[in-house]
Amino acid sequence: MPVFLYDQTTGVFGVVHSGWKGTGIIGEAVRMAEERYGADPRNICIAIGPHIRSCCYVVNSGRAEYFRRNFCGDCVTPYEPERDGGEAQNWNRDGGTLYRLSLEKANLAVLDKAGILDENITVADDCTSCCGIFGSFRRETSGVPEADKWLGFTVQAAFCGYMPL
Provide the 8-state DSSP code for 41.
G
Examine the pLDDT at 142 and tell me if it is beyond 50: yes
How is 94-149 classified by DSSP, letter by letter?
T-S-EEEE-HHHHHHHHHHHHT--GGGEEE---BTTTSTTS--HHHHHTTS-GGGG
Range of the domain at 118: 2-162
- Give the pLDDT confidence score for residue 7 in this predicted structure: 94
Examine the pLDDT at 139 and tell me if it is beyond 80: no
Predicted confidence (pLDDT) per residue in 71-83, tens digit: 999 999 998 776 6
Q: How much is the pTM?
A: 0.80
Name the domain count of the chain.
Answer: 1
| CATH number of the domain where residue 34 is located | 3.60.140.10
Predicted confidence (pLDDT) per residue in 17-66, tens digit: 888 888 999 999 999 999 999 999 999 999 999 888 888 888 888 999 99
